[in-house]
Amino acid sequence: MKSSTSKLSQHLAALTEAVQAGDGRCDPAVVAKAKAVADRAAQRVALGGDYTVVALAGSTGSGKSSLFNALTETELAQVAARRPTTSKAMAVGWGAELPNELLDWLDVGKRHLIVPDDKRLANMVLLDLPDHDSTEDAHRVTVGRMVDMVDALVWVVDPQKYADSALHDGYLKPLADHADVMLMVLNQVDRLNPDELKGCVTDLRRLLDSEGLQSMPLMATSATRRDGIYELRSSLIATVERKRTMLKRLSLDVKKSAKSLVADIGPKMPAKMNSSLKEQVASTMADAAGVPVVVDGVREAWRLRGRIATGWPLLSWVLRMRPDPLKDLRLGAETAAEQSSSATNPTRLPWANAVQKARVEQGTRELVDQAAQGLPNGWAEAVRRASRVNDQLLADDLDVAIADPELTAKPRAWWWTVFTVLQWVLVGAVVLGLTWWLAGPALAAAGFGIPLFIWFGVPGGALVAAGGIVGGLLLAALGRGLVSAAANAVARRAEKQLEAAVTEVVTNRVFAPVQAELDRYHQAREAAHAALR
């Protein structure tokens, strides 16, 4: 019993998990029914399995109430013309006390406690239900509710209406999975001769078998002559003694709902998005977000700053008049404070053009269509919604990622300082050479003792000044080449970092929600299958 209860609890937990995962994605009717089953089963388990609730259900004139009186050996159920029009069921329990909490849950107001003539009846509660074909809507509602809640069902039919479609189509066929907790009773057999009885029983058995109820027992009774009453009572006592009917009924309910969920969820679909399509989407997003523009800005800013730092100071000052590409885009460490204080569009990156937007939309649509391929409509739509759920956050996060000063060019390189110092040393040489050349003779004549060096007719000062100029220009040319090579390397590094940052944003805002829906789909599917095992 404990192992069965544990197994039911596992199936019940799996069904609840499947319901929660499938909510808003699976067929609402299927989810609602499964949730009702899960809730009802949990409540019934909480009430315990000491008592077995058996309900007599049947159509008007089937002799159900007479059979109820015969089984209970009372006259509690009114019959024929005296049958009440109440929509409430009546309960009889045997033993020292009634399971009032259980009967309250069943909403059975009329309840009677009788002394058992057989101790084996002590844990059974027998219900007399209203007629399932009553003209009163309330009666049919009560029957429908009780059919879902009781542990076992005894269907009572008479020889005239045993094939009634209201019973077979409305109750028996939908409950075909529950044949193990149901019993069919052909009552009023006292009205048939032996051949007629045999024919009715054979035809009813054939009818039940054709409806998937092969394991449903069939008995013949007569409440008037008490034919089969002892056998029916013994069968009910055996049901109570097994103490498994409640668990069996609930397990069948859970499995039936799980089967409906499995059918609605459909076959297993791929659990991951297409990697190449993800890369394509990330690439088009990076392009639309302005990564190429930023990379070009990084390259040009590095070149401009590097040439200013490594160029000949007497000429490179002209470069300082040029606008800095990164500052123009409001990017880089120098503009970080300005970016953070800007309320809208912190950068000056150009907005994505129509072609870029179309490529982004097309790539995203292809990715989502691939991810949703084969999924039921509700799940496919959930995947599409997930891809758009962060549209506004996506745009903001991309702009923030592009504007991150850590991902753009550093202000300067260490070796620029070396070039700057050397250039100024060479500028000093030019100044010193010119001074020596132009003022040297006068100073020497004044007695300052400055030597005048002449080499092939060229004053030493002129040679020093010329050397400083040539050295500065050569050093500037060398710096220009090194700066250009370094600028390309820095741009490539920035491109990788920016693309990685964009990919992270797209992953968080697009891929992750879509993947979460795919994971939820597989969670629902696995849970529904677990509830079936």
Domain residues of the chain, as ranges?
Answer: 1-49+243-265, 50-242, 275-532
C-alpha to C-alpha distance for 441 and 444, rounded to whole angstroms: 5
pLDDT, residue 443, reads 58
Per-residue pLDDT of the chain (533 residues; tens, 9 = 90+): 555 788 999 999 999 999 999 999 999 999 999 999 999 999 999 988 889 999 999 988 888 889 999 998 888 877 654 444 445 789 999 888 899 999 999 999 899 999 888 888 888 999 999 988 877 888 888 899 999 999 999 999 999 999 999 899 999 999 999 999 999 999 999 999 999 999 999 999 999 999 999 999 999 999 889 999 999 999 999 988 878 899 999 999 999 999 999 999 988 888 888 889 888 888 888 888 888 888 888 888 888 888 888 888 877 777 777 887 777 676 765 554 454 444 444 566 666 677 777 888 888 888 888 888 889 999 999 999 998 888 878 877 887 777 766 655 566 788 888 998 998 998 888 888 888 777 766 655 555 556 666 776 677 778 888 888 899 889 989 989 999 998 898 889 888 888 888 888 888 889 999 999 999 999 999 999 999 88
> How far is C-alpha 515 from the geometric centre of its chain's CA atoms?
8
Residues present in the chain in total: 533
- Distance set, CA 372 to CA 12, 274, 471 (Å): 29, 11, 67
pLDDT, residue 348, reads 64
Question: Rounded to 10 degrees, what is the CA torsion of 490, 496, 499, 500?
Answer: -130
pLDDT, residue 447, reads 55
pLDDT, residue 101, reads 94
C-alpha to C-alpha distance for 449 and 530, rounded to whole angstroms: 105
pLDDT, residue 263, reads 94
**CA dihedral for 57, 220, 113, 153, sign (positive or negative):** negative
HSE of 189, CA atoms in CB hemisphere, 13 A: 20
pLDDT, residue 515, reads 93
CB-CB contact of 527 with 18 (8 Å): yes
pLDDT, residue 406, reads 65
pLDDT, residue 220, reads 95
SS3 of residue 185 by DSSP: strand
CB-CB contact of 416 with 310 (8 Å): yes
C-alpha to C-alpha distance for 438 and 446, rounded to whole angstroms: 14
- Distance set, CA 324 to CA 303, 330, 341, 403 (Å): 10, 10, 21, 16
pLDDT, residue 450, reads 62
Two tokens, residue 279: 């890369």
SS3 of residue 207 by DSSP: helix
C-alpha to C-alpha distance for 256 and 244, rounded to whole angstroms: 18
Give the residue from 457, 390, 470 showing the smallest Cα distance to 426. 470
| Kind of pairing between the strands at 218-220 and 182-186 | parallel
The DSSP code sequence of 367-416 is: HHHHHHTTS-HHHHHHHHHHHHTTHHHHHHHHHHHHT-GGGS--S--HHH
> How far is C-alpha 181 from the geometric centre of its chain's CA atoms?
36
Q: Which CATH class is domain 50-242?
A: alpha beta
CB-CB contact of 185 with 204 (8 Å): no
pLDDT, residue 463, reads 83
pLDDT, residue 351, reads 64
C-alpha to C-alpha distance for 207 and 214, rounded to whole angstroms: 10
